[in-house]
Structure 1
Amino acid sequence: MKRLKKIKSISKNNTAKKYKVVFIDWNGTLSGSKFWGHLEYTNNDLFRKIEDTLFGSLRGLLKPWMKGELKSEDVIRSISDQANIPYTTIFDEFLYSCQHMELVSNEIPLLVREFQKRGSKVVIATDNMDSFTRWTARYMDLYTLYDDILSSSSLRGMKKDINRDGNSIFFSDYIKRENLKPGDSVLIDDSPDDIETIKNFGIDYIQIEPVVGLIPALKKILAPQQLLNI
């Protein structure tokens, strides 16, 4: 009779790490959708005019918008005045784009639920405008799938911002509420800019390739304890 090989688990150091909380960025990570993105191919002239105005002469409005100092209506009014486009045209197309954003993969809901089955919380952590919580999250029913949504416009600070005490404006309250220790959580994000700052908050950081990198990163964290044949 052929002798069966024994099977044993690999060492603990090589197993996938379990996190209490998995923070996931939105733009470029969970979704590649853009504001007014549907116009890029259906009405490119309007799309370019809006984009060139917002990211050109009005670029200085972006951070205040993401920090909750401005509302979407304020910014759209400025675009309308600057680009000489009717306010209602810009706003209606903006609202449509906010409500019709798409995830980078249909696998995401299944993977999120798998994390939750294993006892991890999955939280959207996004530097974003008020439009995200007002329209995108509600229309896409994100509050049902995810354990929480942290957005800079609501928290009045972006992910790398710190207060006078050197604590994170964005993450501190959540970290305290969940009693998270260093290494208990991870942020998956496509941005290379915030890595060291986020790590200083005690949050592990996984930088991914925009849009295409999320699914492999989630699966790697979820990977069950591997087995070796010896």
Structure 2
Amino acid sequence: MPPRCKPVWDKVIFVDWHGVLSRDPFWLSILHNSDHPLHAQLTDAAEVLFQDESLIHDWMRGDVSAHQILDSLDIDPDDSFPPDYLRRKLVEDCQLMQVNQRLVQMLREIRQRGIGIVLATDNMDCFQEALQDANAQRPLTTQSVEEETLSFRQAAQLFDEVLCSCSQRVLKRENPKRFYGSWLSAHALEFEDTLLLDDLEVNCSAFQRAGGRSLQMTNLDHDEEESNLIAAILQWRHL
């Protein structure tokens, strides 16, 4: 078990990615472009792929790699595409994902109150690689982060740390203590010090059973929903 260090925060919010911060799919530059030569093939293959829940969960746990996933797809790009084209687009297209700007801005404000913001996502090797690429680039200035449209890179660099299922080797719902526990221990925190923002009830329930608090997220399209979320987070902060 990692040694406990002096706490950096007394409270931490874990934030989910897909369904909370973004709703865009993998390969969006192909799936959202009907003129792309691989659009039809990939649309059909992706539909079949994501219906195979067992395989997707294996991919999220890191038991299966993106290369193995691509080998399983019924897609035959012609010679005009390089051999690693679809693998490369998996990573590159993550950085095209639209981010929930209002939520990110809210989290930035909350972070300024001394609360840690940690991305906690059931996700794949390609997504983690995209995050690492984004964070390896030059740090963004405050001005660039406050532009009207937030990019994947800008959102990625707002998180204090990242927990991803393909590294944790377990899904959030399966074993929250295994997913979050080592990180919490290393930061001298308990589940009671944390809040999870997630769109899936199963993840929220599992987190609560482990001792944390959770808020099941809905679409932040209305000012009332945004105000309610801020109020709920601030109430949790002062418990």
With normalisation by structure 1, the TM-score equals: 0.74
SS at match of 1:202: coil
Of 55, 71, 86, the match for 1:77: 71
Q: CA deviation at 1:216?
A: 4.9
Q: CA deviation at 1:135?
A: 1.2
Residue of structure 2 equivalent to 1:207: 216
Residue of structure 1 equivalent to 2:186: 177
Residue of structure 2 equivalent to 1:151: 164
Larger mean Cα displacement after TM superposition, 26-35 or 130-139: 130-139
Q: Give the fraction of aligned pairs with identical amino acids, expressed as a percent.
A: 24
- After superposition, residues 65-214 of structure 1 pair within 5 angstroms as 65-79=59-73, 82-85=74-77, 88-105=84-101, 107-136=102-131, 138-139=133-134, 140=153, 142=155, 144-162=157-175, 168-210=177-219, 212=221
Distance change (3 Å), C-alpha of 1:211 and 1:69: farther
Q: Deviations over 1:173-215 (max 9, x none)?
A: 1121222234311000000122322112111010012565885
Q: Structure 2 unaligned runs (5+)? A: 1-8, 135-152
Does the Cα contact within 8 Å between 1:37 and 1:47 map onto a contact in 2? Answer: no
Does the Cα contact within 8 Å between 2:21 and 2:104 map onto a contact in 1? Answer: no
Residue of structure 1 equivalent to 2:139: none
Residue of structure 1 equivalent to 2:18: 27
Query: Aligned-residue CA RMSD in angstroms?
Result: 2.8
Larger mean Cα displacement after TM superposition, 92-101 or 182-191: 92-101
Letter in 2 for 1:148: E
**CA separation in 1, counterparts of 2:91 and 2:212?**
33
Letter in 2 for 1:173: S
Residue of structure 2 equivalent to 1:42: 33
**CA separation in 2, counterparts of 1:192 and 1:97?**
28
SS at match of 1:55: helix
Richer in helix (by share): 2
Provide the aligned length of Structure 1 versus Structure 2. 199
Q: CA deviation at 1:219?
A: 2.4
Distance change (3 Å), C-alpha of 1:85 and 1:59: farther
Q: CA deviation at 1:131?
A: 1.2
With normalisation by structure 2, the TM-score equals: 0.72
SS at match of 2:206: helix
Distance change (3 Å), C-alpha of 1:72 and 1:210: farther
SS at match of 1:145: coil
**CA separation in 1, counterparts of 2:42 and 2:60?**
21
Q: Deviations over 1:61-109 (max 9, x none)?
A: 2111100112211211211xx344465443243233222112122x344
Q: Structure 1 unaligned runs (5+)? A: 1-17, 225-230
Q: Which runs of structure 1 show a deviation greater than 6 angstroms over 4 or more consecutive aligned residues?
A: none
SS at match of 1:128: coil
